[in-house]
Each structure stands twice: as structure tokens, then as C-alpha cells.
Amino acid sequence: MAILQIREALCQALDEEMARDDRVFVIGEEVGHYQGAYKVTEGLLEKYGEKRVVDTPIAETGFSGVGVGAAMAGLRPIIEFMTFNFSAVAFDQILNNAAKLRHLSGGQFTLPMVFRGPNAAAHMLSSTHSQAFEAFYCGFPGVKVVSIATPYDAKGLLKSAIRDNNPVIFFESEVMYGVKGEVPDEEYTIPIGEADIKRPGSGVTVITWGQGVPVALAGAELAAAEGVEAEVIDLRSLRPWDEAAVYASVRKTNRAVIVYHGWPYGGTGAEVADRITQNCFDSLDAPVERLCYEDINMPYAENLEKLAIPTPERAAEAILRVAYRD
């Protein structure tokens, strides 16, 4: 067992999969000679060379298209976006090509590829660099969507994503690359679509993912001091998501709070809340609560940004509110 940062766990996954399968390659801005904008690809250029660790111009549409073509030809590309904010200029390649060509070709083509990079707000990057894209990508058939929060999950899920024969959107977090945790020395994978209980409890179910995970866990600890034990479920995969695990927990606790980095209108949290209401209505003793971004463009000023994003204190308030303890 090793203690690794998330960036190191991701790098291990890339290294192991590139060694295992010579069809796997990485392409994106600064992935090679600069060793990666967040050092996720550090050391890979020296080990695998420029044909498999490909530096690109600032041209997301172009290198996403190269990846789509490579996947159609039988390779397994990993497309790194320096930030998912920059994926906006590659929507046509991702959503009209990667997500649809298997369907449009009647199954003649598969698209085994990963689009990965940091998603959602980081710290004082203002509105154009703080988009949370999970609701957008989850809204389209043809892709799988993963969001990680620990080194263990990062490595196991990235390996599964690389091996998957479908396009996978793989969300990381700029502010969480340095988070440390245990990673097994032996090889392992984590199935896409399987949630994880990060904190057991019986009083309230808290559903979360990505950057919401540390917020939810800290909020649960604050609520525990007030006598309410929350069960925190990290979805890890957003499309598909582990409905069975969530419903089982909600039917046990009879209450649900969803904590996530994203906007309230039409968000992934809204979809989760709707399905809980549809499938667990008779078990609910309180309305489903959501804690997410304020419905505004993300401010640049640090004090205003803090008011716009979920915090442990507000997570605790939501937990206590659905338990009728506020």
C-alpha cells in the first residue's frame, strides 16, 4: 500500500495502461515536454516517446478530432483538457462524433477513448474558468461520465475508463490533485457505475461526487456533533449512476441531501433528486435537499466565491434541516 496524491495515482494508471496496451496514447496541451499542466503525465514522455505522448497546439477541436479518428481506427486515445472549460470548443467532436458514431455506424465503429481533465470551480479563476460540465455531458447518450475525489478511486476508475469501449468523460479537480490517500500496490480496477459509501450512517443520506465529497464529509462531521449521523455516498460515476445503492440508503435513513459543485437549474443533482422522489417517495420523511452553486456566474473575488459554492457549514445545515434539527 502506498500513499499517493491524486495526480500520482492518475499517472500510475496511465503508466500501467500504456505499458499493458500499446494502443493507448495521451494527447493534449503540455502533456509531454512540460510534464503536464498539473504533472499528471510526468515521466511518460521519457518512457513512451513522442508518438504516444503527443504535445499539441492550443486547438481542442483539432486534437479531440484526432482522438476520435484514432479511436475509430482501433487505438485507445486519452485526450487531456488542461481544463474542461476548454472542452467547450470541442463540443462538436465530443457530442456529434465520439458520442454518436457507434450508433450512426450501426456498431461498425467503437470509440474507446477518454476525455479527462479538471472540472468545476478551482480557486479565484472567475466565471469563464469555473464551469461545472457534468450536467451538460450527462445530458447526452453515448458517453459515460466519471467524477473522482480520492487517489484510490482516481486510479481504479481511470484504468476502467481506458479499457472501456465507449467514450468516457473523466472529471478531476484542480484543487484536489494534491489530495493524498492509500493506493494498493497490486493492480485493481473499479467498475464504472458503482458508488462508494465514504461514511456510514443512519440518520440522513448525503449523495455527492467530485469536489462535493470533502464538503459532504466535513458537513457530516459537523452534523454528527449535533447528534445526526449522515451516510455519505460518493457516486463516482454520474452516467451510469448507482441508483440501487442510493435508494437502499434513502429507504434506510428516510432523508436525502445532495451536495455537488454545479448549478441548481437542470443540474445532475436535480436529476438525482427527481429519481429519488420518484422511486423512494413513500420512504421520505422530508423533502430532498440540494446544496450546490448559487445560480450566478462564478465571482472572481475570494470572499464572493466562497458565498457561491457549497461549504461544510451549509452542508451541515442542510443535513440538520432534513432531520428537523435546525
Looking up residue 60, the CATH number of its domain turns out to be: 3.40.50.970
The residue whose grid cell reads 510534464 is: 35
Residue 191 resides in a domain? no
Same domain, 223 and 200: yes
The whole-number pLDDT of residue 3 equals 98
Share of the chain above pLDDT 70, in %: 100
Mean pLDDT of 6-33: 98
Given a cut of 80, is residue 302 above it in pLDDT?
yes
Judgement on whether residues 44 and 146 belong to the same structural domain of the protein: yes
Contacts of 273 (CB under 8 A, 6+ apart): 256, 258, 288, 290
Domain identity same for 200 and 96: no
Residue 326 has pLDDT above 70, yes or no: no
Over residues 106-121, the mean pLDDT reads 96
Contact 8, 42 (CB under 8 A): no
Model confidence at 42, in pLDDT bands (50, 70, 90)? Answer: very high
What are the phi and psi torsion angles at 76 (to 5°)? -130, 80
**CA 51 – CA 254 distance, rounded (Å):** 54
142 and 224 fall within a common domain: no
Q: Do 201 and 179 share a structural domain? A: no
pLDDT of residue 325: 79
Name the grid cell of 160: 476502467
Across the range 258-280, mean pLDDT stands at 95
Active-site annotation, residues: 60, 129
Give the number of domains in the chain.
Answer: 2
297 band by pLDDT with thresholds 50, 70 and 90: very high
**In this structure, are residues 68 and 97 in contact, taking their beta carbons and an 8 Å threshold?**
yes
Domain boundary among 135, 158, 183: 183
Residue 106 lies in a domain: yes
178-232 residue pLDDT tens: 999 999 999 999 999 999 999 999 999 999 999 999 999 999 999 999 999 999 9
Extract the C-alpha cell encoding 128: 469563464
- Residue 142's region, left for phi above 0, alpha for psi from -120 to 50, else beta, is left
Residue with cell 454545479: 262
Say whether pLDDT at 268 is over 90: yes
Question: Starting at the edge strand that comes first in sequence, how are the strands of the sheet with 204-208 ordered?
Answer: 196-199, 230-234, 204-208, 256-259, 289-291
Q: Give the β-pairing of 204-208 and 230-234.
A: parallel
The model carries a pTM of 0.96
Distance CA 293, CA 226 (A): 25
Average pLDDT over residues 312-321: 97
User: Quick one: pLDDT at residue 114?
Assistant: 98
**Confidence check: pLDDT of 44 > 70:** yes
132 and 279 housed in the same domain: no
The chain-wide mean pLDDT, for the chain, equals 96
**In the structure, what pLDDT confidence band is assigned to residue 324 with cuts at 50, 70 and 90?**
confident
CA distance 230 to 276: 17
In which domain, by residue range, is 107 found?
Answer: 2-183
Contact, 154 vs 10, CB < 8 A? Answer: yes
Same domain, 130 and 207: no
What confidence score (pLDDT) does residue 267 get? 87
